[in-house]
Structure formats: structure tokens, C-alpha cells
Amino acid sequence: MKSLEISLDKISHLGKIKDKENSRFRSFLKGKDDDKVDRIVHAINKEIVGQIDCTKCGNCCNTLRPSVTEIEISTLANIEKVSPGEYTSKYTEKDDFENSKYLKNIPCRYLNDKKCSIYSSRPHDCKSFPHIDKNSFNSRTLSMIQNYAICPIVFNVLERLKEEFKFK
């Protein structure tokens, strides 16, 4: 089993260096069978995700803004002891293009020492990050490449995927 890269500094640095390579890889994957790519990605992800403890990283919470639903806003408002309307105006931003709401603070206001202080109540977007286990990987390669320099799981999955497809 190949060792994994978990240094956030190194992953960030390699993300900049490999930006063009990753764009080429994205185009390369578009020509591959979607079901085959999903099977390979899911197998690689299953191996890697068991070796990386997200609660010792928290980099996604330092750099990304999760989307939130109205139900999640109600839950978060309850945690903050404010009304959903007040929570929405104080802690979220609307993206009219996507018709979504996002938490507006970066880093996340609920991040405490690399751990989520509301872990059991965190939004679905946080629970499902980095979204590798979902189907239709090829339709999400742009976001995967954007997360390559942020998330050790994404970084290692994409690097292994390049090896699997013998991409140069």
C-alpha cells in the first residue's frame, strides 16, 4: 500500500504546481466510461478514507463555505438561540445564481481546534464532504480539482486515479 500525503502545506503547494496537469486529467477522464470511473474512484476512496482522520485536519472548514437548507438553518438558529430569520441575515449569504444559501464565515464559526463544535448537527454539505463517494464523478471533476489542494482525501484519490489510468 502506497503511503498517503497528508501534509496540508505540501498538498497546497502541489495543487499550484499541478494545476495544468489536473486540468488535462479532467479532460482525459471525460473520455472514459463514467461507470468504470465511478467504480475505480469508489474503490480508491474506500481505501483512502479509512486512513485519514478528518477531525485531525479541518482544512475544509478553514477554506470552504457549506451550503445550508432551510431546515439546517432552523437547526443552526436553535443552536445559536436566535430566530431562523436572524440566523439567515447574520450568518448566511445567498447565491442567486445557484439559488442556494451558504454559511458566510471562513473559517467556519463552528470550527474549534480542527474539530466541528456542532458535529452531530452539521449541515449535510459538511457531512458528505468531499463528495467522492457519490456517483457521477466525471460530472464533478471541476469541484474535485478545486478541492485537490485543500483536502488530503481528494488529493490522494486523484493521484491514485492518475496512476490507475496510467495518466502522464
pTM beyond 0.85: the answer is yes
Residue 158 clears pLDDT 80, i.e. is over it: yes
Q: What are phi and psi of 31, to 5 degrees?
A: -90, 0
Which amino acid belongs to residue 145? I
Rounded to 5°, the CA angle 6-31-141 comes to 35
C-alpha cell at 35: 461507470
Q: Give the pLDDT confidence of 62-119 residue by residue, as tens digits.
A: 999 999 999 999 999 999 999 999 999 999 999 878 789 999 999 999 999 989 999 9
Q: Look-up: residue for cell 475544509? A: 60
Phi, psi at residue 93, to the nearest 5°? -130, 145
